[in-house]
Amino acid sequence: MSSVPSSVSDRSTTTPDYQALYETAPVAYFSVSQGGYIQMLNPYAANLLGYERDALIGQSVLTIYPPGAEGRTRALQVLQTVQQGEPVEKVEMRMACADGSALWVHLTVRPVHDEDGTIVRFQSIVTDITDRKRMQAKLETNQEALASRVEARTAELERVNAELRAEVKERRAVQEQQQRQLAAMDAAMAGMSIHAPNGDFRYANQAHATIYGYDDPEELIGASWRILYNEHEQAYIEDEIFPALDAGEQWSGDLTGLRRDGSTFPVYLTLTPLDDGGLTCICEDITARKEREQQLELYTRRLEVLRDIDQAILQAQSPADIAQAAMKRLHHLVPCSRSSVALIDRSANEGTVLARYSDGESMLDSGVNVPLSHFQFAETALEHDLHVVEDIRSVNQTPLIQQLREEGIWAFMTLAMRMDDTLIGIVNLGTEDPGCFTEQEQRIAQEVTDQLTIALRQAQLLEQVQQHTERLEQRVEERTKELESFTYSVSHDLRTPLRAVDGFSRMLLNAHSDQLDDEGQRLLGVIVESAQRMGQLIDDLLALSRLGSRDMRSGPINMEELADDVIDELIRAHPDRDLAFERETLPITCGDRSMVRQALTNLLANAVKFTQDETPARIRITSDTEANVPTYIIEDNGAGFDMTYADKLFGVFQRLHDDDAFEGTGVGLAIVERVVQRHGGHVAAQGTVGAGATFTFTLPKEGATSP
């Protein structure tokens, strides 16, 4: 095999090699502007599509794709993808020929950047993959067509002979054109090469040489492809790639290249077999892409660590659990063999080891309190958020430092945990390799430390809240016992003398009323009435107090049936009243039926009471159909109330009207609010003096569990 001469003028002697690349090889080459217009194409590309080469220069790249999802629409998607800087590898789609026909191709497009990273154009490689059976079908014609084609072929050969005579005159023009093609390949951003059947280089452009660490592509001419790969990659290429090329298939994929200086790097290759047994190669250094992938993987792992810390906060784990989990995961992001978290108490001049994670044994266990003097860099952490010691032999040899040296720790990083400018703790990371903490690893450690600080502070607050809640629950339990004792006293100690007062007053009024004058009888009647009101008040207070301790028996409640029962009961209780109830469709709820009945009875009885001066008294029960939970509304045309005092409406003994005008104990609405709240609902009221009132309350959905 002859080598390629160094002078440009002498390269014409290698015409068959470039003719194989541009006309014989099943690869078409295009250069497209950033805006999507064709800047250059090789002869094979023009021949493949049936165009004169100059006819496509300057045309939109969409011109060579047929309409439809598999043609122009797909091509527009590819163009938009590479305009965003992403390469497109081996996309299968259709291309339009000049004669209106279409063929199937594999399309590979990569953006080309200038020195500042701006995309200046796109390099495209197109391989014809039209079904070979279709080509064979065209060759299998019947006998009649064969005779006709023989005759046509004879005429064509005569025409070709005439063209060949003219071709001699055009030889120089062709050679000049090939030189321009060679210049285009030399200037290409992607590495390009042509190899002989034995694998030796016939041609390599400058980009190919530069990618593999060579100054001049002439250094590769005549050399074997093996000099660009180590033994492991050579075996892979021979066992996996060459069989595919021998079968006439194109191969694309990642390999590990070997530079001239012995260093390795990731490279992406596209290999296409030639008819003479050789092949063409297009290569790209993908080191930057691999680094981006590694950065993305590292970033994902960082997010996972931060997510785990957040999950620990949501799960209300203890500070020690959170710190232990954070240190364990931090080892996957920052190379260290020992890590610990310690909380600092400046007032006590000591630190508490909250958690540690180590590959070996440590002198400190979690939960141990040690003097601050044992923490070599605690004072430094007071002034700096991050402190790195690349070699601990350069610092004072405290007992802790000596222990670290015995464990094989030679580099140290301390990070301050601050909350509101106050140092609450420190994070220590140790490694066996001096000076190994990079700036990126320091940033990662600081980010995890900041998140850990928030998590620990949150956990401490949660512990404080839990302790406070336990104290409150204890106080509530004590208050509940006191209330039960008071309720017992009211129910037994007060009701007995009250019944005596009521009974003896009635006996005196019935048996000896003739011995009393009118004023005496009136006063005795007041005593009887007051005793009855006090008895009702005691009953209401007992009912209110029992609501807090009574167990709830939840189940589905048909509110329409319940409302109808209460309405019938109220109508029978007030036969002399003109009561006009209107009940619309009500949603089913879930709760304690007896409690809900008591609340509904109190609300409807309240409406009956405050409409006593209206004829008829109109009371309407409806629901809010757009609410997310069952919402019930009770409206009346009664006395209403002043919204200025609405906040007192549901309080015990709170009455917004004259006692003489409307009877009551002032406990009924308080019972309503307590029942609704125990079911996890809310009750509210709206009113206008003299224009009625509206009460709204919510209850759980059917199937829900009441609190």
Alpha-carbon distances, residue 212 vs 261, 274, 471, 627 (angstroms): 9, 23, 73, 70
C-alpha to C-alpha distance for 257 and 262, rounded to whole angstroms? 10
C-alpha to C-alpha distance for 433 and 337, rounded to whole angstroms? 10
Nearest to 272, CA basis, from 292, 296, 252: 252
pTM: 0.35
Q: What was the pLDDT predicted at 175? A: 55
Domains of the chain, CATH where assigned: 12-137 (3.30.450.20), 191-285 (3.30.450.20), 317-549 (3.30.450.40), 551-698 (3.30.565.10)
Q: What was the pLDDT predicted at 212? A: 94
Q: What was the pLDDT predicted at 382? A: 53
Q: The tokens 């500070």 sit on which residue? A: 319
Q: The tokens 């070996």 sit on which residue? A: 360
Q: Are 595 and 678 in contact (CB under 8 A)?
A: yes
Q: What was the pLDDT predicted at 375? A: 60
**Structure tokens given for 659:** 């006692």
**Structure tokens given for 534:** 């006090």
Q: Are 420 and 400 in contact (CB under 8 A)?
A: no
pLDDT means per 10 residues, the chain with 707 residues, are 35 44 66 90 87 90 90 90 89 89 88 87 86 60 63 77 69 57 61 91 90 92 94 93 92 93 93 91 89 79 70 64 77 78 77 73 56 57 68 71 74 82 81 76 82 78 80 76 63 66 74 76 74 65 60 84 91 88 91 85 88 89 88 90 74 52 62 85 87 90 62
**Structure tokens given for 157:** 């050969």
Name beta bridge partners: 106: 92, 127
Neighbours of 1 (CB within 10 A): 11
Residue 571 phi/psi, 5-degree rounding, is -65, -40
Q: What was the pLDDT predicted at 1? A: 36
**Structure tokens given for 227:** 């000099």
Q: What was the pLDDT predicted at 328? A: 76
Q: What was the pLDDT predicted at 14? A: 39
Neighbours of 149 (CB within 10 A): 12
DSSP states along 397-427: --HHHHHHHHTT--EEEEEEEEETTEEEEEE
